[in-house]
């Protein structure tokens, strides 16, 4: 069985020293090993941005796609080869600005893939402009007098789009993040994991210290929290101003998209004499 080291390659990440994205890369590698994957069973599809480089830094199938389009590619990969575990990844600008249309529809489509957003609340690759996740009043070169737009809440949007798995973590909490990615991979449907990942070079407001002071850890602060309760999940997101971490919501009752396609589900495929056996499906 592969260890997390086997998900490393010899490409040296060119993220700035201290960037939160390093820990997210490590968490994906650990989670992949912990759920028993081999590198050839994993595909990592990314969009454009500093975070988009991640597909080149993991020893697995990878595709560094185009801006905001990680999810259409990832969904195509999954539909073409259901045996692959597919992780899509990108930044908050990539997924919640140019890619938001895809994000909402991928959530409601509920294909069995995991989407990890590296949320630094700024555009890093283009040297620090306001993103949809930046706070009101946030000053950058693109908003020198402070942002006058309201901040997008991806968790509220995901819940209202019918998400079956919504989680949030912090790049510094490797233990929680790894466990959530493992749970997301195991979830039979679309899993959204938004990860606070500080941009140490351009975001001087939402720093490691800022997150440590403001994050609400669900498991520690609300041990009785029930992630199967959709209304409670929405309430908790709003009560904490979207700063909660942990497993926020999971619905295991809804089937994944691929399992609902007529002629594409397990029974239908087995009827078509493709020399497929029960054992084959047990691996999926």
CA angle 247, 170, 212 (to 5 degrees): 115
* Residue 55: both structure tokens together: 């597909």
Q: What is the DSSP string of 210-268?
A: HHHHH-EEHHHH-TT--TT-HHHHHHHHHHTTT-EEEEEEE--SSPPHHHHSTTTSHHH
In the list Mg ion, ligand SF4, none, the entry touching 93 (Cβ below 5 to 8 angstroms by class) is: Mg ion
Which residues lie across from 117 on neighbouring strands?
90, 194
- Region 48-77 residues binding ligand SF4, contact defined as CB under 6 A: 50
Q: Which of 7, 15, 96, 249 binds ligand SF4 (CB under 6 A)?
A: 15
Residues 106-125 that bind ligand SF4 (CB under 6 A): 120, 124-125
Greatest Cα-to-Cα distance within the chain, rounded to the nearest angstrom: 66
| 150 vs 253 by CB, closer to Mg ion | 150
Residue from 96, 138, 196, 202 binding ligand SF4 (CB under 6 A):
202
| Contact flag: residue 92 with ligand SF4 (CB under 6 A) | no
Residue among 2, 19, 183, 247 that touches ligand SF4 (CB under 6 A)? 19
The reply on whether position 200 binds ligand SF4 by CB under 6 A is yes
Q: Can you tell me the distance from the alpha carbon of 113 to that of 68, in angstroms, rounded to the nearest whole number?
A: 16
Q: What minimum distance in Å lies between the beta carbon of 244 and ligand SF4?
A: 23
Judged by CB under 6 A, which of 4, 6, 8, 16 binds ligand SF4?
A: 16
CA distances from 61 to 20, 33, 137 (A): 23, 15, 41
Binding mask 105-124 for Mg ion (x = CB under 5 A): ---------------x----
Residue 54 — left, alpha, or beta (φ > 0 → left; ψ -120 to 50 → alpha)? Answer: alpha
Closer residue to ligand SF4 in complex, CB, 17/36 = 17
Which residues, listed in sequence order, are joined to residue 74 by a DSSP beta bridge? Answer: none
Residue 15 site contact among ligand SF4, Mg ion, none (CB < 5 to 8 Å, cut-off depends on kind):
ligand SF4
- What is the distance, to the nearest Å, from the Cα of residue 41 to the centroid of all Cα atoms in its chain? 18
Tokens of 239: 């009560």
Output the residue with the shortest Cβ distance to Mg ion: 91
Let me know: does 193 contact 117? Beta carbons within 8 Å.
Answer: yes
154 touching Mg ion, by CB under 5 A: no
Sheet containing 165-170: give its strands across.
Answer: 61-64, 42-46, 85-91, 114-119, 191-196, 165-170, 244-250, 216-217
Of 178 and 197, nearer to ligand SF4 (C-beta) is 197
**Shortest reach from residue 15's CB to ligand SF4, in Å:** 4
Out of 93, 99, 242, 246, point to the residue binding Mg ion (CB under 5 A): 93
Burial class (CB in 10 A: 0-12, 13-18, 19+), 120: buried
Cβ 107 to Mg ion shortest distance, Å: 19
Q: What is the size of the binding site for ligand SF4 (CB under 6 A)?
A: 12
Of residues 199, 218, 244, 247, which one binds ligand SF4 by CB under 6 A? 199
What is the contact surface with Mg ion in residues (CB under 5 A)? 91-93, 120
* Residues contributing to the site for ligand SF4 (CB under 6 A): 15-16, 19, 21, 50, 120, 124-125, 199-202
């Amino acid at each position: 069985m592969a260890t997390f080291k086997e998900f490393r390659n010899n490409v040296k990440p060119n993220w700035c020293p201290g960037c939160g994205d390093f820990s997210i890369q490590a968490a994906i590698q650990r989670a992949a090993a912990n759920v028993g994957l081999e590198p050839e069973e994993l595909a990592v599809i990314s969009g454009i941005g500093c975070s988009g480089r991640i597909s080149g830094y993991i020893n697995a199938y990878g595709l560094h796609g185009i801006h905001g389009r990680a999810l259409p590619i990832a969904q195509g990969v999954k539909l073409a080869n259901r045996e692959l575990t597919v992780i899509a990844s990108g930044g908050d600008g990539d997924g919640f600005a140019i890619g938001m249309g895809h994000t909402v529809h991928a959530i409601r489509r509920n294909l069995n893939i995991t989407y990890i957003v590296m949320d630094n609340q700024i555009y890093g690759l283009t040297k620090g402009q306001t993103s949809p996740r930046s706070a009101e009043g946030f000053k950058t070169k693109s908003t020198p007098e402070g942002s006058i737009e309201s901040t997008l809440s991806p968790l509220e949007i995901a819940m209202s789009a019918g998400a079956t798995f919504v989680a949030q973590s912090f790049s510094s909490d490797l233990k929680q993040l790894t466990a959530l990615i493992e749970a997301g991979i195991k979830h039979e449907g679309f899993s959204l994991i938004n990860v606070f990942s500080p941009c140490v070079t351009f975001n001087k407001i939402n720093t490691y210290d800022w997150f440590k002071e403001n994050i609400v850890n669900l498991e520690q602060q609300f041990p009785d929290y029930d992630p199967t309760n959709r209304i409670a999940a929405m309430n908790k997101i709003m009560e904490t101003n979207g700063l909660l971490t942990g497993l926020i919501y999971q619905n295991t009752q809804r089937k994944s998209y691929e399992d609902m396609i007529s002629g594409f589900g397990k029974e239908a495929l087995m009827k078509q004499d493709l020399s497929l056996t029960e054992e084959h499906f047990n691996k999926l």
